[in-house]
Structure 1
Amino acid sequence: MAAPVDPALLRLVPPVRRLIVRTGAFQALSTVLVMARGVLIGTVAATVITRTALADTPPDSVSWLGDSRIMVLLLILCAVVLAHACVAGVARREQSRAVGASVDKLREATLTALGHRDPREVEEEAGRWRHVLSRGMEDFRPYLSQFLPALIAACISTPAALATIAYFDWVSAVFALVTLPLIPVFMILIGTLTAQHTRRRLEVTAGLGQQLADLVGGAPTLRALRRTEQPQANVSLLGERHTAATLGVLRLAFLSSFALEFIATLSVALVAVSIGLRLVAGNIELLPALVVLIIVPEVFNPVRTVGSSYHAAADGMESAQAALHLIAQPQQMRGGYRELTSGGGISVRGLSISGRDGIRPSNLNLQALPGELVVLAGPNGAGKSSVLLALLGQLPDAAVEGSLALPADISYLPPTPSLLPG
Structure 2
Amino acid sequence: MSEIPLSLLFTALGVLIVLSGCFSGSETALMSLNRYRMRHLAKQGHRGARLAERLLRRPDRVLGVILLGNNFVNIAASSLATVIAMRLYGEGAIAVAAGLLTLVILIFSEVAPKTLAAIHPERLAFPGAYVLWPLLRLLYPLVWLVNASANALLSLIRVRVEDVSSGQLSYEELRTVVNEAGGLIPQRHQRMLLSILDLEQASAEEIMIPRPEIAGIDLNDPWPETLERLMNSQHTRLPVYRDTIDHVLGFIHLRRVAGDLVRGSFTPEDLEARLTEPLFIPEGTGLHTQLLNFQHHRERIGLVVDEYGEILGLVALEDILEEIVGEFTTDPGAVTQSITRRSDGIYLAEGSATVRELNRVLGWELSTGGPKTLNGLILEKLETIPEPGTSLLLNGYPVTIIQTQGNRVKAAEIQPQRPASARPTSP
TM-score (norm 2): 0.25
Question: Which one has more relative contact order, counting CA pairs under 8 Å at least 6 apart?
Answer: 1
- The structure carrying a bigger strand percent of its residues is 2
CA radius of gyration, larger in = 2
